[in-house]
Amino acid sequence: MKKFQFSNKYFNRLIYDDPDLNIRVVIKETPSLDISEEDYSLRVETHHEEGDVIHRKYAIEHHSKQDKHNYPHLQFKFHTEEIGTFWLRLEFANQEEYKKAILGFIYKIKDVLNDLERFKPGICKDILVLDLVNNLSEEGIFLSKKISESINKHFLEFKNYGYTRDKINNLHNNPLLINFLGKENITKIAETYITKK
């Protein structure tokens, strides 16, 4: 088994499809033996309807051979909610910290899936091994701390289309992003953007 491979332990299934309710969840992991030398990626994609189609992508990853984003980062794609794609750089002292952050990401994904319980009760338990994921709260706190450190040190990067200030304002209106990143961090992002721009 690869040193950095978590989907087989913490997820019951990697694809969840309910065509009757138009809900789809896909988990993709690119495992790594040595995260400092190889690519690693854990991505979670959700698709459902709330009147309109809502399509979201969450990722924690590192592209070692890519010119752009060749450092550990969180990536979010919220196009259907007029936020678009954005990246948040993360810094880790060692591979153990990176592993802890990945586990914190899995813990935070539990809240993303819990949001889908409104449409499909039991979906969170169907997808996640909840007995294990519920024990990752410390890792979730650790990732929140790293997110806060990153926002204090680095500029949030949006993909270059649309008007970025509107996208930042839309962050304040998205309960899942507020929950994932933290309300204080969303406020800091807006303040940092105004200061740096």
Q: Is the pLDDT of residue 70 over 70?
A: no
Q: Where are the domains of the chain?
A: 7-196
Output the pTM of the full model: 0.89
pLDDT for the residue numbered 170:
74
Distance CA 169, CA 164 (A): 9
Handedness of CA 191, 194, 190, 60 (dihedral sign): negative
What whole-number distance in Å separates Cα of residue 119 and Cα of residue 123? 9
Residue 125: pLDDT band (50, 70, 90) is very high
* 151: number of Cβ within 10 Å: 22
